[in-house]
Amino acid sequence: MKTSNFSLQFELNVSEIQKLNEMYFKNIYRNWILLFFGVVLFILIFLDLNIQDDLVEWIIRSLALIIIFLMIQYSFVNSICEIIFRLAKKLQSEKVKNKYKISFTDYFIYIYSPFGNFTHKWSKIEKAILTKKFLFLYFKERNGYIISISNKKTNERNIDELISFVENNVIHVVKV
């Protein structure tokens, strides 16, 4: 991948923002909420420990609490995540939309959003597929991320330059 000073930056439209939120941030927030509930469970178990209680009774109470927690945690976590992302979908003001950007440089792809930032290397791209409406970049990572970029020709987007960079320096672009 030898090229000089390649740099593009795109602001994302609403459909791209929704796909990005689904792809990246839903799993991250689900993990944070699970961690929070796990810490709460840990605190509840050890706050229940009294020196005067029988150890067997404490273990049985703790196991019952853990089983109940495991049975209901995923419904709570999914509900909280759905609420967060429904609110995020409704916040479609220009101020929020302008914070979502994808930047392409010689070696990296940067994803900027209010929920967090990510960086990918071009060498991690497994596939690039160009359809009538989108350019999809598939990554060889644990979560199998996909970046979708709208093909609409607008003044601020030079999608042809991005496609030619990917084609010439990264991987063959499959055209569907």
Print pLDDT tens along the chain (176 aa). 555 677 878 777 777 777 777 777 777 777 788 888 888 888 888 777 766 677 788 888 888 888 888 888 777 777 877 787 777 666 655 566 677 788 888 888 888 877 778 788 888 888 888 888 778 888 877 666 777 777 776 656 777 788 888 888 777 888 87
Task: Look at the chain and report how many structural domains it folds into.
Answer: 1
Q: Cα 22 vs. chain centroid, distance in angstroms? A: 6
**Model's pTM, two decimal places?**
0.64
Which residues constitute the domain of residue 118? 1-175
DSSP H helical ranges for the chain: 14-20, 26-47, 55-90, 94-97, 159-165
Structure tokens at 91: 């916040």
d(CA 32, CA 26): 10
Helix 55-90 and helix 26-47: axis angle, to 10°?
Answer: 150
